[in-house]
Structure 1
């Protein structure tokens, strides 16, 4: 009974995380009049503040020892901070310039980029279905490039920045909350300086006198923190195959928002590209499910 409750709690937490990520464009659309660089500066600062509060409340007397990292880990977190900052900036820029569909494409491509990087960086061998999936993803991207006349750079920037971020964090021995705290802490001085620069040029939108606007900008920290905490809760309670399938929920929701709510054009060229990506993801998922089932089979002759 307890295991069923744990799994149900994990499903609810993971579902909450992916729904928040999928509906995030609705939140950032409310800040469409604010420059993307100012939004990201606020996101960095408020994420660091909220994370600090969470860590203080959770760790209390163990806080210093909990967040202490050595210089090698700190250097890796500096790199991951740059990668996640690029990801956030491109994401918000895409929303502010009415290219939400590109963000959906980027996060659909992301798992396939993970497979590609696993092959290149970790020398992982691809099965037949995974190889076909990568080729299909490349074909879909090439089709859009040829037909539109330019690379779908927003989608590719989101996919590769987040995939590389995952690689760096995979090789860095630090927990998700502590890691994000250090990433935002390392970025905070630059974020503060950037806001001061905008204020000096009279380009800063943030104003404590405007409670609604100030709350929305401060809330970007919660939009960052809450799904991360929920995701961590889900990962602890669910197997990775379930998480792997649920990860497609967020870009699916973003796709629906882009096409049916924001009215972004979905052309035949988009249809070809998305069809290639979706087929590739289906093959990738089938291959992953086969590997998972094979790994669970008892070894022949085991006692």
Structure 2
């Protein structure tokens, strides 16, 4: 449980800081950034597997349809999530991405109840209600249907559910996911080159190096997340996720100079209150079970 919490905190902190990273490439089309992100993630994880000498395990995963099917689903979901996120960050919608990841824990709780038969206690349901009220306030304040936020929330929530269905090692799973989508990325990459539409290779040297490192920037938080997902209930994992959008929200105001309203501040307070309530309720539940066993 503790290892799962540590991995989750690291993953969500890294994700919260990612808008700073993708802003370096705001002159590039989102599709081109995504193709590089997929390809260099594949190369990075391939290097990890090569160092660990786990080729046999990887080949067995590719032959095992029970593992390959949920990984194929998770691969499509995370790729969709990446594309929407990159486009939103580079088109001035950082606050919407923050809202999306605030929504995701609520989606996670719903999915956990529907598909994993997890049963939140009263304190956890209270936290869900508080967080839901906060998100509703933001949605009303936004003034229109936040398609970016909803798309990010559902794609990542379903990704987390798919990862719960996979029992293989995190690095093997991530390599399999990137292997599934890397052919499409290479085809798109080739198209950009032949049509002379590619912009990556004309970037300044420092930006190009950062783009090549996008594989590590992408893979590392996913590896931490996969380890956390295998150790924590989906609903608990979802509430720890508030770390990421909170960092992103702060960046959107202080760094990217997006406007923040008083309503957004109120919703922010409600959501963090929900996080504290959920954490306290989650801690008390195991203690109550232990006390009952002791009696």
TM-score range, shorter chain: 0.7 to 0.9
Moved over 6 A (4+): 7-14, 232-245
Tell whether the 8 Å contact from 1:109 to 1:277 is kept in structure 2 after alignment: no
Specify which of 192, 198, 201 is matched with residue 186 of structure 2: 192
Q: 2:45 matched to which residue of 1?
A: 51
Which residue of the partner structure matches residue 84 of structure 1? 78
In 2, Cα distance between equivalents of 1:122 and 1:240: 8
Q: Which consecutive unaligned segments of at least 5 residues does structure 2 have? A: none
1:165-244 paired onto structure 2 within 5 Å: 165-207=159-201, 211-229=205-223
Distance 2:39 2:198 in 1: 15
Deviating more after overlay: 240-249 vs 275-284 = 240-249
Q: Which residue of 2 aligns with 1:100?
A: 94
Query: 1:145-164 alignment to 2 at 5 Å?
Result: 145-164=139-158
Structure 1 residue 292: Cα displacement: 3.1
1:32 aligns with 2:34: no
Task: Give the C-alpha shift of residue 207 in structure 1.
Answer: 1.4
Return the alpha-carbon distance in structure 1 between the equivalents of residues 70 and 237 of structure 2.
Answer: 26
Report how far residue 17 of structure 1 moved: 4.1
Residue 127 (structure 2) pairs with residue 133 (structure 1): yes
Tell me the equivalent position of 1:3: none
Does the 8 A contact of 1:112 with 1:281 survive in 2?
A: no
8 Å contact kept, 1:133–1:281: yes
Listed as ranges, the gaps of 5+ residues in structure 1 are 1-6
The superposition leaves residues 84-103 of structure 1 with CA deviations (integer Å, 9 ceiling, x where unpaired) of: 01111121112101222222
Match of 1:4 in 2: none
Q: Deviations over 1:163-199 (max 9, x none)?
A: 1111111112322111111111110111111122233
Larger mean CA deviation between 92-101 and 102-111 belongs to: 102-111
1:49-73 CA-to-partner distances (Å, cap 9, x unmatched) read 1111110111256455564441232
Q: How does 1:3-42 map to 2 (within 5 A)?
A: 16-42=10-36
Q: Number of matched residues? A: 295
Residues of 1 paired with 2:166 and 2:259: CA distance?
41
2:114 equivalent to 1:120: yes
Q: What TM-score do you get using the length of structure 2 for normalisation?
A: 0.84
1:30 is paired with a residue whose SS is: helix
Structure 1 CA distance for aligned equivalents of residues 201 and 97 of structure 2: 29
